[in-house]
Structure 1
Amino acid sequence: MHFQVTNSPFNEEQAELLNRLLPTLTESQKVWLGGFLAASPSAAAAPAPVSAAEAPQAAPAPSAAPAVSKDVTILYGSQTGNAQRLSEKAGKTLQSNGFQVTVSAMSDFKPNSLKKLQNLLIVVSTHGEGDPPDNAITFHEFLHGKRAPKLEELRFSVLSLGDSSYEFFCQTGKEFDQRLEELGGERIAARVDCDLDFDEPAAEWLDSVLSGLSEASAGAAPSQETAAAPAAESDYSRTNPFHAEVLESINLNGRGSNKETRHLEISLEGSGLTYKPGDSLGVYPQNDPKLVDDLIAALGWNADETITINKQGDVRSLRDAFLSHYEITVLTKPLLEKIAQLTGVDELHDLIGDSEKVKAYIHGRDLLDLVEQYGPFGVSPQAFADVLRKMPARLYSIASSLEANPDEVHLTIGAVRYNANGRDRSGVCSILCAERLQPGDTLPVYIQHNDNFKLPEKAETPIIMIGPGTGVAPFRSFMQEREEAGAEGKAWMFFGDQHFVTDFLYQTEWQKWLQSGVLTKMDVAFSRDTAEKVYVQHRMQESSKELFQWLEEGAAVYVCGDEKNMAHDVHHTLIDIVEKEGQMSREQAEQYVADLQQQKRYQRDVY
């Protein structure tokens, strides 16, 4: 093909440039360029006028379907960073396939821009009891409100992250998916709901999305070489953890305490792993060996029998697989359904037919309880293992600053012990750390970055930290970081626990920071030291005037700890303070706090 001024609508300079470019293009580049030109807004413009004599007399071509834009917007709602990480990875993969991609947190997206989009991907986690993560609340409310626009031109797909041990599994993703359909949107690919082991289903969802976008967009789908996902950013990650040496394990609670809180110091030397205050450490634990042995015995199997544990064909002994690969301490409704289908036990089918009975049964029970009551089952170890969930990592807020502790990461872990249904039970990871882990042992770990819980960019910004119990962890990291940086902004800490004498975690460090001025003010609440229980929210109320003044000065508020009780009470106390001290209506106070979240001046790391 050779362009000339006489046989094309181009001038001499344009024709020369095109003739120099075209011979250098590969076939796939030509296809992509054709699709790009067809999809561009100018493609719809009217061609230059020609006379009837000049117009060719060919038969009219059949009308083509309108080209679909190659612009893709990915919005994520993330509490711990998983949805953000998957969104960014999806963005890189789509960009490498010729799409123009915008990746944004839902809190940073202007909802009124929604009607301008043609291709929208939603990646969102579900938090607590079916709630959206903090940075998705405003967008979720807009989409489900009266102001949401009709979206007949929108094509979308949803990737939903959740935990099947919760009743409202992936609820937020389901709600986004349903609502976008109600508003007129058309799915690019079906919604995928991911459990804690989300890497494979997330990759399959992205493949489906890429296929759907490529088919609809002008031009052919890209070659296999360009479709490959981008390389991992670091050597060690969630799917390739670093085996880190434990340096120290110290009980922070004094003699006579009702609690045991472990301070772990872990070496990252040689890993290349880095983190910032507010990030978390993912830890892959091992199950209690006694529980594993009891379970295998109850099933009537040989602990040395081998099974295949993944699609890659890795083989382990049954005991090793139950120790470190499979989750055996949590029952979920999906697991009961799979085991009932696998075993054909009538009593199990009767149980899963009643949702309320299922909820009551799984509370406080584990796989051994199920096997002892309904087993042993006449199935092979391989078939049984295939329905189990992979052992999920446990995320812990990092309690150290890398600047203050090079090549180390510190954790604050509360040991979990309780009795339920006639048996003593314990937390998988917390009791591993408290009872079986010794200095010199190793733990498989990775860094979970969390951009939703970060110190202010300006060191002079005042900060208010609220973290009772092990919720103190990230604020120790904050203080170490600010001390190293010489930050001069004011800092106020609210800490609470049971007893002053035995449960004041990191007491000497807090006192040192108060004396040096790194920490401006500290309020403590020890609930069991007084006749009437006092919690951190009560201390907030006692200082309501000053706290509101800090907010008016631009302070950022951070909350870490139990979501269901503490964080819920602190949230409503914050609204009460704003309402009272700001002389606002309840609605105005709620909007004030919502604006703090939108401005990233109210951040929560809750569990």
Structure 2
Amino acid sequence: MSRTRIGNSLLLLLLAGAALALARWQTAPWWQGAPGSTRVLLALLVALAFGGVCVLCLRRPRIATDTDSGILLLWGSQTGFAMQLAEQGAAALKQAGLAAHAMPLEAADAALLRAHRRVLLIASTTGEGDCPDHAAGFLPGLQNQTLAGVEYAVLALGDSRYQQFCAYGKQLDEAMRAAGASVLFARIEVDAGNPKALAAWQHQLSCLAGDAELAAPLLPEYQAWRLQARHCLNPGSVGDAAWQISLTREAMHWQAGDVAVIAPRNAPERVRTWLAATGLMADAAQQAALAAARLPDPQQVVGQNLEEIIAQLVPLPMREYSIASIPAEGELRLLVRQTFDQQGQLGLGSGWLSTYAEVGSDIWLRVRSNPAFHAPGADTPMILIGSGTGIAGLRAHLAARAELGAHRNWLLFGEREKAHDFHFRAELEHWQQAGIITHLDTAFSRDSATRRYVQHVLAEQAERLREWVAQGAVIYVCGSLERMAPAVDAVILQTLGKPLHDQLQAEGRYRREVY
């Protein structure tokens, strides 16, 4: 029960107590003659009506007034996670009786922030400290502005594998503070979807709602998907192995552009090694708990029993992958590049999917909607640019376009060697022959003495780029943020000019899913 309802209930009890106390002062008869049955009935009806009004007042949601614009939740999202949290948070606050609404960062300015009593900023950091593409203009818009009287809090989403962990969330925090806004509660940083950090955020939302129990969960639950098959797509390549992962379940729903969020597990051998180092024994359930968590240093848990250790474990971070297929194909496909840590051990997500999980076993996964990378209408031409495993998200779009019979698609793809790294080659060439792909341009950097990348191919086709954009085409880029994406962006900027480049971004006609 919220504080408001508790206060209203106490007030009614106080009034009832006052009425009883006043009644004891009455020494003379209440009436000279007993009222008739009609008057008694009317009095009872009035009392019941009054009680009903009181109940409605207690249950009625709080309504915002002109002087209270409610809570504003602003999101900056590259793959849809921050947007999802903002929208679910706004829905939960509304159900608790507060006025709340969510919108992207670029839709807000200092005047809008000043019009709200409280502002919650939920933002992800991409690459090495960068903001989501759509939010690039928000911080510059706060310069030389005052936000005195505004209260705010920041939920910063990031991945501690990167040096600039949660950098953009920290920048938002500093900018709001510098503009004179007051802190509602300390910044919460979420490392790769850490459930404990998200639970702390939900607790703060509950406090804002007067300690109400929020009805809307922050995240959907993971579901069990069967690991149907996997195989390496680039044997013999000079690059790291790229594996196609096929997953199935009875009910499959997603759109091209959506993201698969995986809950990885420690390799069984790693769990056995840890148990041997601690000298502890574990049953099947305890081993499953250890497999899903970050294992502490054995020296730090000396003297503790296994139940105590498990109670303190931190879940493993989630891993995100672009979905490479559509539901009509009967499977959820991923394209996963094996990565290695400084000790030469396989990466957490790539190792689990490509090596350690047994074919036929369950993979815990949830599909996250990513509207920022959903396709336009079938009549809109698409320019799809990707490198490496970035072809995964683009392949899903092409499969969806083929199902719709949408034929104006231009694919530019770059990798190392044509003989080994032309992922999905047979399907792409089939779609080209069928007219689904109008143009298929490739760049394989190791096939010539002069390194040639996808941005070079795009620059060579500058005239076609201008023509397609003039005809209403959208540009979708998927792949490496560190190398490919900035180089492609530079070509687009040089070819189209900054005004048109910025206009395409503002209109949602230039979108990126980069990592």
The aligned runs of 1:198-597 (5 Å cut-off) are: 198-212=194-208, 221=210, 224=212, 227-230=213-216, 240-255=221-236, 258-269=239-250, 272-297=251-276, 300-305=277-282, 316-317=285-286, 319-322=287-290, 324-327=291-294, 378=302, 380=304, 389-402=314-327, 404-406=328-330, 408-417=331-340, 420=342, 423-456=343-376, 458-488=377-407, 490-579=408-497, 589=498, 591-597=499-505
Q: Using the aligned pairs only, state the percent identity.
A: 27
Report the AA paired with residue 165 of structure 1: R
Distance 2:138 2:47 in 1: 49
Kept in 1, the 8 Å contact 2:259–2:367? The answer is: yes
> What residue number does 2:509 align with?
601
With over 3 angstroms needed to count, the CA separation of the structure-2 counterparts of 1:452 and 1:111, relative to structure 1, is farther
1:350-388, Cα deviation, whole Å (9 max, x unpaired):
xxxxxxxxxxxxxxxxx7xxx7xxx68756466776776
Moved more, 71-80 or 158-167: 158-167
Distance 1:92 1:510, change over 3 A: same
Could you give the per-residue CA deviations for residues 61-103 of structure 1, whole angstroms, max 9, x where no partner exists? xxxxxxx725221111111222111111111111012222221
Change (3 A) 1:19 1:84: farther
Q: Secondary structure at the match of 2:185?
A: coil
Superposition deviation, residue 279 in structure 1: 0.6
Counterpart residue type for residue 188 of structure 1:
L
- How far residue 461 of structure 1 moved from its aligned partner, in angstroms, is 1.3
Q: Is the 8 A contact 2:224 2:363 kept in 1?
A: yes
| Structure 1 pair 197–401 and aligned structure 2 pair: CA distance change class (3 A) | closer
109-118 vs 566-575, greater mean Cα deviation: 109-118
The question of whether the paired residues in 1 share the 8 Å contact of 2:68 and 2:116 is answered with no
CA contact (8 A) 2:69 2:115 kept: no
The answer for the alignment partner of 1:344 in structure 2 is: none
One-letter amino acid of the structure 2 residue matched with residue 228 of structure 1: L
* Displacement after TM superposition at 1:201 (Å): 2.9
Using the TM superposition, give the Cα deviation of residue 511 of structure 1 relative to its aligned residue in structure 2, in angstroms: 0.8
Total equivalences in the alignment: 470
How far apart, in 1, do the equivalents of 2:48 and 2:138 lie? 49
Instruction: Give the Cα separation in 1 of the matches to 2:146 and 2:320.
Output: 39
| Superimposed CA distance per residue, residues 445-501 of structure 1 (whole angstroms, 9 cap, x where no aligned partner) | 111211111111x2211111111111100111101111111224x211111111111
Whole-angstrom CA distance in 1 between matches of 2:106 and 2:255:
21
Q: For structure 1, which segment, 246-255 or 568-577, has the greater mean C-alpha deviation from structure 2 after superposition?
A: 246-255
Q: Which moved more, 1:512-521 or 1:106-115?
A: 106-115
SS at match of 1:523: strand
Match of 1:351 in 2: none
Partner Cα separation in structure 1 for residue 192 and residue 97 of structure 2: 31
Deviations 1:504-543 (A, max 9, x none): 1111111111111111111101111100111101111111
| Residues 1:491 and 1:197: Cα distance change in structure 2 (over 3 Å) | closer
Alignment of 1:119-134 (within 5 A): 119-134=118-133
Structure 1 position 32, deviation (Å) = 5.8
Q: Paired residue for 1:343?
A: none
Evaluate the alpha carbon distance shift between residue 206 and residue 508 of structure 1 in structure 2; reply closer, same or farther with a 3 A threshold.
same
Change (3 A) 1:26 1:187: farther
Secondary structure of the equivalent of 1:467? strand
User: 1:442: Cα distance to partner?
Assistant: 2.2
> Could you say which residue in structure 1 is the equivalent of 2:65?
40
Would you say 1:25 and 2:53 are equivalent positions?
yes
1:193 paired residue number:
189
Farther off after superposition, 157-166 or 538-547: 157-166
Distance 1:379 1:450 in 2: 46
Structure-2 separation of matches of 1:72 and 1:166: 32
Q: Is the Cα contact below 8 Å between 1:247 and 1:266 reproduced in 2?
A: yes
Does the aligned pair in 2 maintain the 1:273–1:447 contact within 8 Å?
A: no
User: 2:193–2:318: 8 Å Cα contact kept in structure 1?
Assistant: no
Over residues 387-430 of structure 1, what are the superposed CA-to-partner deviations in whole Å (9 max), with x where a residue is unaligned? 7642122211000012x324x21111123357x4xx54212332
| Secondary structure, counterpart of 1:425 in structure 2 | coil
Q: Unaligned regions of 5+ residues in structure 2, if any?
A: 1-11, 13-45
Question: When the two structures are superposed, what TM-score results if normalisation uses the length of structure 2?
Answer: 0.82
What is the DSSP-based 3-state SS (H/G/I as helix, E as strand, rest coil) of the residue aligned with 1:528?
helix
* Secondary structure of the structure 1 residue equivalent to 2:170: helix
Whole-Å Cα distance in 2 between the matches of residues 19 and 576 of structure 1? 77
Preserved contact between residue 111 and residue 139 of structure 1 (Cα < 8 Å):
no
TM-score (norm 1): 0.70
Shift in Å, 1:162: 1.9
Give unpaired runs (5+ residues) of structure 1. Answer: 2-17, 42-67, 215-220, 307-314, 329-338, 340-366, 580-588
**Stretches (4+) displaced over 6 A:** 18-21, 383-387
Q: Give the AA of the match of 1:205.
A: W
Contact 1:188 1:209 survives alignment (8 Å): no
Q: SS at 2:372's partner residue?
A: coil
Q: 1:538 to 1:21 in 2, by over 3 A?
A: farther
Matched residue SS, 1:400: coil
Relative to structure 1, the CA distance from residue 412 to residue 25 in structure 2 (aligned partners, 3 Å threshold; closer, same or farther) is same
Query: Retained in 1: the 8 A contact 2:237–2:417?
Result: no
8 Å contact from structure 2 (residues 385, 411) kept in 1: yes
